Amino acid sequence: MNRAIDALNEWMQLRARLRDEYQFHLDRATADFRALGLSRRTAKRAAAGRFGSRRNLKHALRELGGDWPGLIRLFSAHRVHASPWFQPIVLVMASLFVLLLSPAPLAVIEGAVGQPLGVADRRAVFISDQARNLSYVGIKKADFESIRALDSLTELERYQSIHARAHARKGISIRAIEFQIRNRTGNPRLRAIPLFERESIVMGPAKAVWGFIGFCSLFFFATSQSSFRWIEYGLAAGCLHSLASLLMWAVVIQRWSRVAWSSDGTALLGFLALSALYLGVVALQCQVWRIGLHRRCPCCLEPLLLPLTEGSADCILMNSATTESVCAQGHGVLVETRWSSQFRPQRSPLQGLVRG
């Protein structure tokens, strides 16, 4: 974070330098025209005309490095991209950008969280008659009137003309409500589920993918010999990657559900294509996540520098390739071979004398 602030301060100083220099020469030219007998307003206009249009200022900013491409170059010179904060900030900004692309950001957040944010919405119940093919065929008028007499439900009303929805009283579970409905109506096919499950975005495939990735990453971090700070940073970066990915999936499915597909087969093909594309994006995210962790020092989280390869990549047993990358803070060396990758802490001889 300090690197970005330093780069921004240097960029602002460049712009201030040009602005002060331009104002100095403008005041001197105005004074010269005033000495010739021109009025203050006419002298300022003539001085501004001497320096030309604002295009000259933009050209000067470009040469000095005070424009937007110059700011990017300063970020690169200060190695802002190497900061441990760079990837988390980019992921947070990407998540916010994805939410801006959504027609209903609240629904996207609720889909990623897995439950509605409003307390009243959590008690909303969907009631309908379930057919043998597990589809909902609606609720009959007699059953609807019988359900109206239940004390465990409030605000019962028709939903989508053939179903029903209501609010469960506080402290009563959905399973208990379903049991009461079936006893009251004598219809064992009536189902009661949270209304959120009926209206929410389909997040199952994305959550299953990241659940598997999370299980594998926990096993990796549990067996890692790195510092707790490195493990904590890796888990935090993984959580941000999964959050951005889940939000992206939610927005894409939200857009997909609004498309008027010509047939169910076409909709299925579109869903499969989106799933395949999503898996590719997740694989790319995991690769960026892994490389970002692998190339950082376990002690200070700074990127490892000066990679040096000895040996030959064509050899397997004798004189095989070995790459060493060092930490700029002197914490150790990362040794990579064809079969293993290990960080070797660097201990100064003075440390042993001090401890002794």
pLDDT in tens, 61-88: 888 888 888 888 888 887 788 788 888 9
pLDDT value at position 356? Answer: 45
pLDDT in tens, 176-203: 999 999 998 888 889 898 988 888 888 9
- Give the chain's mean pLDDT: 86
Give the integer Cα–Cα distance in Å for 110 and 60.
50
Residue 203 identity:
M
pLDDT value at position 1? Answer: 65
In a domain, 40, yes or no: yes
pTM: 0.76
In a domain, 91, yes or no: no
pLDDT in tens, 166-181: 999 888 888 999 999 9
Contact 163, 136 (CB under 8 A): yes
For residues 289 and 218, membership in a common domain is answered with yes
For residues 208 and 266, membership in a common domain is answered with yes
For residues 279 and 247, membership in a common domain is answered with yes
| Model confidence at 136: pLDDT above 50 | yes
Kindly report the three-state secondary structure assignment for every residue of the chain: CHHHHHHHHHHHHHHHHHHHHHHHHHHHHHHHHHHCCCCHHHHHHHHHHHCCCHHHHHHHHHHHCCCHHHHHHHHHHCCHHHCCCHHHHHHHHHHHHHHHHCCCHHHHHHHHHCCCCCHHHHCEEEEEEECCCCCEEECCHHHHHHHHCCCCEEEEEEECCCEEEEEECCCCCHHHHHHHHHHHHCCCCEEEEEHHHHHCCCCHHHHHHHHHHHHHHHHHHHCCCCCHHHHHHHHHHHHHHHHHHHHHHHHHHHHHHCCCCCCHHHHHHHHHHHHHHHHHHHHHHHHHHHHHHHCECCCCCCECEEEEEECECCCCCCCECEEEEECCCCCEEEEECCCCEEEEECCCHHHHHHHC
pLDDT value at position 283? Answer: 95
Average pLDDT over residues 151-161: 88
For residues 76 and 130, membership in a common domain is answered with no
In a domain, 233, yes or no: yes
pLDDT in tens, 108-123: 998 888 888 887 788 8
Single residue among 36, 60, 82 that ends a domain in this structure: 82
In a domain, 106, yes or no: no
| Model confidence at 134: pLDDT above 80 | no
In a domain, 131, yes or no: yes
For residues 192 and 212, membership in a common domain is answered with no
For residues 195 and 213, membership in a common domain is answered with no
Token pair for 25: 């020469």
**Confidence grade of residue 351 (pLDDT, cut at 50, 70, 90):** very low
For residues 350 and 287, membership in a common domain is answered with no
For residues 178 and 217, membership in a common domain is answered with no
Residue 141 maps to which CATH number? Answer: 3.30.70
pLDDT value at position 347? Answer: 63
Work out the percent of the chain whose per-residue pLDDT is above 90: 21
In a domain, 87, yes or no: no
Contact 116, 196 (CB under 8 A): yes
pLDDT in tens, 32-53: 888 888 888 888 888 888 877 7
In a domain, 189, yes or no: yes
Number of domains making up the chain? 4
For residues 253 and 310, membership in a common domain is answered with no
Single residue among 57, 82, 107 that ends a domain in this structure: 82
Average pLDDT over residues 54-58: 81
For residues 191 and 210, membership in a common domain is answered with no
pLDDT value at position 282? Answer: 95
Give the integer Cα–Cα distance in Å for 301 and 236.
13
pLDDT value at position 295? Answer: 84
Single residue among 274, 294, 314 that ends a domain in this structure: 294
| Residues paired with residue 326 on neighbouring β-strands, in sequence order | 305, 333
pLDDT in tens, 210-265: 999 999 988 888 877 778 888 899 999 999 999 999 999 999 998 888 888 888 88
pLDDT in tens, 273-284: 999 999 999 999
| Model confidence at 355: pLDDT above 70 | no
Range(s) of the domain holding residue 75:
2-82
pLDDT value at position 8? Answer: 86
In a domain, 314, yes or no: yes
